[in-house]
């Protein structure tokens, strides 16, 4: 069945408001016989801000013009996809780069609820940490990982969070195997914190070997005031 072009859809009732806001759109009676061309035009919108374009791309992913992603592909925000649903429509993507040298934060604060370790737990861990309003222990001030991720924006997308233990392990394994991980040989912060570590320590990830354990098999943990990088991720 022929699909109406973007220009015709701009006048249709119930159209996405991003189109309605585009005063440069011309109305025509043209039809597009090839649906892929239709979807290509739907993605080639003009006059939008970065944030507006990010919202538009996210909306398209919920409809007939959704992209099917594979691990290793560039994701909607320009990072690398490292986990997908069975149909490839939704998943997780890594930020293109690390955020460097930040405190984990919440030093000397007992945390009991941000202990999720599984794929899918990073977002809730991060949301819990954000409610604590932890500040830097530095006398000169500074950002924590939660401060940084809440203000992180890439290509208009600002819904990033700190990966859980299993999200970080899976991301490292998948992307490194495809040669697109770009991980540093250093320790990384993650969002999983065990209440058993007390109020000063939290779990860390080794970017050199992809492990959360030392060579002797004991868990890898660090004091929360250390300055280390982390790799934000987002779901789509």
Query: DSSP string spanning the chain?
Result: --EE-HHHHTTSTT--HHHHT-TTPPP---EES-HHHHHHHHH---S--HHHHHHHHHHHTTSTTPPPP-TTSB-TTSSEEEEE-TTSSSEEEE-SSPEEEEE---TT----S----STT-HHHHHHHHHHTT-----TT---BHHHHHHT--BTTB---B---HHHHHHHHHHHHHTT-----SSEEE-S---GGGTTSEEEEEETTTTBSB-TTSPBPEEETTSEEEE--EEE-
At 219 the pLDDT is 86
Give a yes or no: residue 225 inside a domain.
yes
For residues 130 and 217, membership in a common domain is answered with yes
Among 60, 77, 108, which residue terminates a domain?
Answer: 60
Of the candidates 78, 22, 9, 18, the residue with the CA atom closest to the CA atom of residue 52: 18
Of the candidates 56, 53, 51, 57, the residue with the CA atom closest to the CA atom of residue 69: 57
For residues 103 and 9, membership in a common domain is answered with no
pTM of the model: 0.81
Give a yes or no: residue 161 inside a domain.
yes
For residues 103 and 54, membership in a common domain is answered with no
Give a yes or no: residue 142 inside a domain.
yes
For residues 32 and 136, membership in a common domain is answered with no
Give a yes or no: residue 49 inside a domain.
yes
Tens of each residue's pLDDT in the chain, 236 residues = 333 333 333 333 333 333 333 333 333 333 334 458 889 888 888 889 999 999 999 999 999 999 999 999 999 999 999 999 999 999 999 999 999 989 999 988 999 899 999 999 999 999 999 999 888 887 666 889 999 999 999 999 999 999 999 999 999 999 999 999 999 999 999 999 988 888 999 999 999 999 998 777 788 889 999 999 999 999 99
CA distance 155 to 187: 27
For residues 51 and 108, membership in a common domain is answered with no
Among 60, 87, 109, which residue terminates a domain?
Answer: 60
The total of structural domains in the chain comes to 2
Of the candidates 174, 200, 205, 177, the residue with the CA atom closest to the CA atom of residue 98: 205
Of the candidates 166, 167, 153, 148, the residue with the CA atom closest to the CA atom of residue 104: 148
Give a yes or no: residue 140 inside a domain.
yes
The whole-angstrom distance between residue 187's C-alpha and the CA centroid of its chain comes to 20
Give a yes or no: residue 216 inside a domain.
yes
Give a yes or no: residue 116 inside a domain.
yes
At 123 the pLDDT is 98
For residues 114 and 216, membership in a common domain is answered with yes
CA distance 137 to 59: 40
Residue 81 tokens read as 């996809």
At 35 the pLDDT is 57
At 139 the pLDDT is 61
For residues 56 and 109, membership in a common domain is answered with no
* Structural domain boundaries, residue 31: 3-60
For residues 33 and 103, membership in a common domain is answered with no
Of the candidates 57, 64, 129, 46, the residue with the CA atom closest to the CA atom of residue 93: 57
For residues 116 and 189, membership in a common domain is answered with yes
For residues 40 and 117, membership in a common domain is answered with no
For residues 45 and 107, membership in a common domain is answered with no
Among 60, 84, 106, which residue terminates a domain?
Answer: 60
Give a yes or no: residue 40 inside a domain.
yes
* Widest pairwise Cα distance in the chain: 70
For residues 120 and 227, membership in a common domain is answered with yes
């Amino acid at each position: 069945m022929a699909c109406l072009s973007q220009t015709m859809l701009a006048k249709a009732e119930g159209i996405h408001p991003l189109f309605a806001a585009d005063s440069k759109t011309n109305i025509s009676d043209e039809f597009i016989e090839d649906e892929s061309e239709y979807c290509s035009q739907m993605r080639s919108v003009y006059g939008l801000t970065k944030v507006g374009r990010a919202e538009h791309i996210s909306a398209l992913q919920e409809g007939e013009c959704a992209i099917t992603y594979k691990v290793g592909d560039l994701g909607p925000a320009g990072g690398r996809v490292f986990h997908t649903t069975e149909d490839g429509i939704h998943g997780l993507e890594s930020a293109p780069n690390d955020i460097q040298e930040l405190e984990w934060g919440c030093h000397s604060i007992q945390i009991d609820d941000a202990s999720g370790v599984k794929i899918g737990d990073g977002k809730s861990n991060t949301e819990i940490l954000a409610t604590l309003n932890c500040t830097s222990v530095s006398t000169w001030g500074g950002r924590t990982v939660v401060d940084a991720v809440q203000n992180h924006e890439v290509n208009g997308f600002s819904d990033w969070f700190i990966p859980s233990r299993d999200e970080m392990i899976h991301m490292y394994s998948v992307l490194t195997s495809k040669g697109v991980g770009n991980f540093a040989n250093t320790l990384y912060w993650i969002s999983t914190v065990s209440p058993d570590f007390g109020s000063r320590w939290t779990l860390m990830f080794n970017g050199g070997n992809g492990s959360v354990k030392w060579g002797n098999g004991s868990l890898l943990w660090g004091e929360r005031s250390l300055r280390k990088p982390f790799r934000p991720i987002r779901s789509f």
